[in-house]
């Protein structure tokens, strides 16, 4: 009976790991979801300076839950009387600690041979424990490597957006060639491509949102907020042919929206700072005829989401600065 119970728990843990690592959707296994929820609830109460390691802590919780769950499952199975754990000399060793020890070395190593199952059924259970342990550890390593790659990609994308200009005025000045803002379009398309990839990685790795940056240039929220405001000016505040092409504008803004859709639901509504004055913003590039830009509901929702992201990354003050034009 204990063998069936233990094997069932082991299958549940293994299924959770497989579903979380291999299944290419935002839906994760119940164990991973629970650890993510508990981790966020606890870590988000810490001071900002202690939250930079939030993603690492939550990831460790998820991986550890799979390992301990599997260990517990096979410990339960090995406590079944039909297993008959014994020493190499045939002396019975039925204690709980003995079962924990045998389950542990079956999952992680080939063991030392000092304790072993005394029956055929017990040997089959040990083999099954070894197989599931090897497979689960491999999945955990794959998950950690893939998450590390996703973190690196997010930091690279944030740096790329920051390099275009960390505030609206800088972006406009760098994009203007004396006649139009279109020279920036190839760079916007590159940012859009990276943001689209990042949006998919946020779906696959929800914990990625909890890996907080410790430098302004690696913070995605404030840089995208500045870029979004600058794109509104470049696309709608000037006439043709100086304005951005519709395709370039929609590519980068839709990519931003895709990133925001992959982020966790926010518990409160935030009020972003006012959008920059278009005339004052365009003053940095000279005498350019400006048109009044009416903020639509879609643009307002995007600005609110990007500002909330900046706040969650810990850059509220910087976020206010990037949209303020003096």
282 shares its domain with 179? yes
Contacts of residue 284, Cβ cutoff 8 Å, sequence gap at least 6 = 169, 172, 173
* Distance, CA of 244 to CA of 309 (rounded, Å): 26
**Residue of 236, 234, 201, 220 lying closest to 306 (CA atoms):** 220
259 shares its domain with 174? yes
249 shares its domain with 302? yes
Which single residue is written with the structure tokens 């370039």? Answer: 248
Q: How confident is the model over 194-247, as pLDDT tens digits?
A: 999 999 888 888 888 888 887 888 889 899 999 999 999 899 888 888 889 999
Q: How confident is the model over 249-281, as pLDDT tens digits?
A: 999 999 999 999 887 765 456 777 777 777 777
H-helix or E-strand containing 85? strand 85-87
- pLDDT of 202 reads 86
H-helix or E-strand containing 86? strand 85-87
- pLDDT of 267 reads 46
- pLDDT of 322 reads 54
User: Length of the chain, please?
Assistant: 326
Domain range for 208: 165-322
Would you say residue 279 lies in a domain? yes
What single DSSP character describes residue 51? G
Q: How confident is the model over 132-141, as pLDDT tens digits?
A: 998 998 888 9
Please report, in tens digits, the pLDDT of each residue of the chain (326 residues total): 788 899 999 999 999 988 888 876 666 788 888 888 888 787 767 766 666 677 888 888 899 999 999 999 999 998 888 887 877 666 776 678 888 888 888 888 766 667 777 788 888 888 889 899 989 988 889 888 888 898 899 999 999 999 998 888 889 989 998 888 999 999 999 999 999 999 988 888 888 888 888 788 888 989 999 999 999 989 988 888 888 999 999 999 999 999 998 877 654 567 777 777 777 777 777 767 667 677 788 888 899 899 888 888 877 666 555 554 43
Contacts of residue 50, Cβ cutoff 8 Å, sequence gap at least 6 = none
Would you say residue 261 lies in a domain? yes
- pLDDT of 110 reads 63
Q: Which residue blocks in 165-205 are alpha helix, DSSP H?
A: 168-175, 185-204
178 shares its domain with 132? no
Choose one of 82, 110, 142: the last residue of a domain: 142
122 shares its domain with 192? no
User: How does DSSP assign 91-126, residue by residue?
Assistant: -B---HHHHHHHHHHHHHS---SSEEESSHHHHHHH
* Distance, CA of 66 to CA of 69 (rounded, Å): 5
320, 273 contact by CB (below 8 A): yes
Please count the structural domains in the chain. 2
126 shares its domain with 187? no
- pLDDT of 182 reads 92
Would you say residue 154 lies in a domain? no
Q: What is the pTM of this model?
A: 0.81
Would you say residue 226 lies in a domain? yes
Would you say residue 156 lies in a domain? no
**Residue of 169, 183, 161 lying closest to 277 (CA atoms):** 169
* Distance, CA of 269 to CA of 232 (rounded, Å): 23
121 shares its domain with 215? no
134 shares its domain with 185? no
Q: Which residues share a beta bridge with 116? A: 86
Would you say residue 147 lies in a domain? no
């Amino acid at each position: 009976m204990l063998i069936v119970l233990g094997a069932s728990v082991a299958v549940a843990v293994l299924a959770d790991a497989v579903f979380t690592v291999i299944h290419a959707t935002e839906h994760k296994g119940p164990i991973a979801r629970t650890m993510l929820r508990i981790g966020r609830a606890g870590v988000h109460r810490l001071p900002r300076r202690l939250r930079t390691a939030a993603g690492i802590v939550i990831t460790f919780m998820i991986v550890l839950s799979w390992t301990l769950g599997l260990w517990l499952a096979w410990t339960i199975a090995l406590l079944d009387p039909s297993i008959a754990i014994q020493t190499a000399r045939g002396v019975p060793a039925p204690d709980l600690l003995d079962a924990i020890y045998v389950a542990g070395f079956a999952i992680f190593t080939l063991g030392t041979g000092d304790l072993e199952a005394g029956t055929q059924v017990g040997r089959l259970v040990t083999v099954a424990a070894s197989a599931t342990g090897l497979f689960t550890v491999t999945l955990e390593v794959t998950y950690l490597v893939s998450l590390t790659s996703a973190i690196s990609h997010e930091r690279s994308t944030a740096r790329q957006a920051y390099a275009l200009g960390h505030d609206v005025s800088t972006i406009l000045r760098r994009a203007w060639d004396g006649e139009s803002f279109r020279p920036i379009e190839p760079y916007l398309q590159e940012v859009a491509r990276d943001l689209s990839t990042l949006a998919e990685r946020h779906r696959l790795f929800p914990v990625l949102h909890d890996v907080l940056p410790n430098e302004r240039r690696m913070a995605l929220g404030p840089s995208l907020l500045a870029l979004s405001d600058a794109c509104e000016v470049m696309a709608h505040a000037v006439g043709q042919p100086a304005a951005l092409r519709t395709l370039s504008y929609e590519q980068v803004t839709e990519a931003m929206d895709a990133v925001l859709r992959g982020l966790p639901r926010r518990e409160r509504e935030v009020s972003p700072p006012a959008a920059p004055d278009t005339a004052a913003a365009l003053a940095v590039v000279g005498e350019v005829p400006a048109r009044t830009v009416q903020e639509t509901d879609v643009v307002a929702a995007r600005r609110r989401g990007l500002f909330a992201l900046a706040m969650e990354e810990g850059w509220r003050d910087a976020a206010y600065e990037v949209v303020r034009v003096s």
